[in-house]
Amino acid sequence: MRANLNYFPMRQTRIKHLYCMALSLCSLWSLAQVPPKNWHLLDHHADGVYGISVEKAYQELLKNRKPKKKVIVAIIDVGNDITHPALKGAIWKNKKEVEGNGIDDDRNGYIDDVHGWNFMGGCKVETYDCVREYVKFRAKFEMATDTMNAEVKHWISMKKQTEDFLTFRQGVFKRTEPAIVALSKLNSYWQKKLERDSIYIKDVAHLNLPAETDSSIILAHTKVLRKVLQTDSAKRSSVTLQEVVNAYQKVVDLYKGQYETALTMIEQRDASYFRRSSPGDDSYTNTDIHYGNADVSTAMPHGNGVAGIIAATRLKPDVKGIASWVEVMPIVVVSQKVIGEERDKDVANAIRYAVDNGARIINISIGKQSSPQKELVDASVRYAASKGVLIFAAAGNDGVSNDEIFNYPNRHYADGGLADNLFVVGATTSGAELVWKYSNYGKNEVDFFAPGDDIYSPAVAGTYNRDSGTSYAAPVAAGVAALIWNYYPTLSHRQVVQCIVQSVTSGDVLVTIPGTSTKTTFKVLSRAGGIINAFKALKVAASMH
């Protein structure tokens, strides 16, 4: 029996160690023990890492072969920097639409959707489902006395989750703000003492401060810096104090923004408050699906990281997309300034937009633990299935079993039955544990694993960075599916999935269950029981062709 865990403990698991979270936000990596930038593309036997063997496929199976058909992959996410050099020629273009003329040239209901669509419109902030549900039903149920009524019980649960949400986020930024002040003073002290601008933690963490030093600075020095080194001294060897300060500030900005956004919605008593001016839709009905705007650009790197894994030009040695001939279609459903949870309505309409505009694959590297309007998403998933469109979704980054908790989107229809076109992907690492330590897993609820830790991919403004998460495992799977269709376009969506499932590797290798020291195998942690492998999948595809 799966439990519907509330927001507070689920989200808290992601930042049990604030130090680790802060550092990961800045993608701070060392030169030592870091895998090759393209490790996810490599082969275990040839290169010593459990990549997907796609470079081997290009060298041995696809050499001197041209792809037969272009594949469009929709990226339902936060948007993309469509001018990034690594994505040149890889961004979908609606040839029936004239850019900037303010006319719906192709009459699909979306004006100027040349490169995709933004269902958030001009709305840059959002909050979580628990807050929205609490506010939505507050007027109806706050004076209710029948606490056994199902709707009242739901509202009481949402109220409690909202209170926990606010308490936790306020606690995080209030505890972190003094640490930033102390760390900044500590940085200034060592800059003056050592007469240099960049103070590396490894150089000062084990030095002693004068006894008369302010106690808050001593605490920052003895607790924070040494804790950072203890988390992984090899990886953190090149981290500076200023980088730690900047990372902590990002944590404060994120959590304070989420806290204040939720409070504003509660005070306004309006669950659609931030969307009133733009996109201006009714958030809880789906009678009008043509809302939002055509601005799919963003200054956030997440969407480009996802897109680059699938479609980056294969000209830069360290950054190569998996597929040969592909275009990515940006569709925005996530707020860009204050990040909240995506609305089911937006996800449902994004799926339909993707299908109607030619996408054969949809990547959804977002997720949450509730789905108030799941019936809308289910209808769109069914629609995609009827058109033979595959959907790959991230398993989640809580390090827990999806067999025990709800994580959305998933293949279960609310009214019964299972989607045969939606697949949930867990993340692997290049390290000995193989399963990434924060990846969700599940014998019944996660389909297969793919590389998702320490992935080097495009960011924004022409830059690149390393990042980790099941967000980056899902597009690896989507990229392999696109590659199969590049060369074997007549295969059905079921056959493409069969190619992937039948070719997973490392099923019997011992791996570490996330959040524990317990060893098991991939067969216990996923339905297919292994890591996807492009080389083997293409061989299976060839046998079907």
Q: What distances in angstroms separate CA 501 from CA 448, 480, 484, 498, 528, one per listed residue?
A: 8, 11, 13, 5, 6
pLDDT digits (tens, 9 = 90+) for 455-503: 999 999 999 999 999 999 999 999 999 999 999 999 999 999 999 999 9
| pLDDT of 14 above 50 | no
| pLDDT of 7 above 60 | no
- The band of 202, judged by pLDDT with boundaries at 50, 70 and 90, is confident
User: What is the domain partition of the chain in residue ranges?
Assistant: 35-123+277-544, 132-267
Residue 222 DSSP symbol? I
Q: What distances in angstroms separate CA 515 from CA 217, 279, 508, 526, one per listed residue?
A: 32, 40, 20, 16
What DSSP string runs through 45-93?
HHHSS----HHHHHHHTSTT---SS-EEEEEEES---TT-GGGTTTB--
41-45, 165-169, 225-229, 235-239: least confident range: 235-239
pLDDT score for 146: 87
Q: What superfamily in CATH does domain 35-123+277-544 come from?
A: Peptidase S8/S53 domain (3.40.50.200)
Is the separation of the CB atoms in 121 and 279 below 8 Å?
yes
Q: Indicate the pTM of the whole model.
A: 0.91
From CA 341, how far away is CA 308, in angstroms rounded? Answer: 23
From CA 461, how far away is CA 85, in angstroms rounded? Answer: 9
pLDDT digits (tens, 9 = 90+) for 336-387: 888 899 999 999 999 999 999 999 999 999 999 999 999 999 999 999 999 9
Output b/e per residue, 51-88; b: 16+ Cβ within 10 A: bbbbbbbbeebbeeeebeebbbbbbbbbbbbbebebbe
| pLDDT of 62 above 50 | yes
From CA 310, how far away is CA 291, in angstroms rounded? Answer: 28
Q: Which residues are registered as beta bridge partners of 467?
A: 455
- The band of 231, judged by pLDDT with boundaries at 50, 70 and 90, is low
- What is the H or E stretch that residue 535 is in? helix 534-544
What DSSP string runs through 157-209?
HHHHHHHHHHHHHHHHHHHHHHHHHHHHHHHHHHHHHHT-S--BHHHHTTSPP
Give me the mean pLDDT over the 227-251 stretch. 74
pLDDT score for 22: 52
Residue 456 DSSP symbol? E
CA max distance for the chain: 77
